[in-house]
Amino acid sequence: MSCPNCNTGRLKLEKDLLNNAKSNPVAARSVVYYEWKDAFRVQRSQETTSLQQLLTMFLDSVVALSMHVFIATWQWIEFQDLKKHLRPGTLVTVRDFAQNYLNMFQDEPSGAH
């Protein structure tokens, strides 16, 4: 599945060019950046890596984000179409399950979980 409006193929090509530029002194240059990490609580962490590795991580993130946006847009379009063509007596509910969401019965015994 791919989006005709996104050019992730070009991003992958750029990543391949980066990986082939190992002898490039600019790509090997050390850079410092900050990243949010989750270890018991979210904290800002200072990281050091090569410019080449940082750009590779960035391109991987952009490709993943473009797929997420594509899927979210497709789901929204399908939901709008579903609402528009509901049969009489049909009910639509929307549930958003966040990461680590736990669905429990209100009156369940405390030993059930």
- For residues 28 and 49, is the Cβ–Cβ distance under 8 A? no
Q: Average model confidence (pLDDT) for the chain?
A: 76
In a domain, 112, yes or no: no
* Rounded-to-integer distance, Cα 10 and Cα 3, Å: 13
Residue 61 predicted with pLDDT over 90: no
* Rounded-to-integer distance, Cα 105 and Cα 22, Å: 56
Distances 30 to 20, 22, 62 between C-alpha atoms, Å: 18, 13, 22
* Rounded-to-integer distance, Cα 23 and Cα 26, Å: 9
pLDDT for the residue numbered 77: 93
- Rg of the chain over CA atoms, in angstroms? 22
pLDDT digits (tens, 9 = 90+) for 13-25: 666 666 666 666 7
Counted domains in the chain: 1
Residue 76 predicted with pLDDT over 80: yes
**Whether this model's pTM surpasses 0.75:** no
Residue 97 predicted with pLDDT over 70: no
In a domain, 69, yes or no: yes
Higher per-residue pLDDT: 2 or 81? 81
In a domain, 17, yes or no: yes
**Residue 50 is part of which domain span?**
8-88
In a domain, 79, yes or no: yes
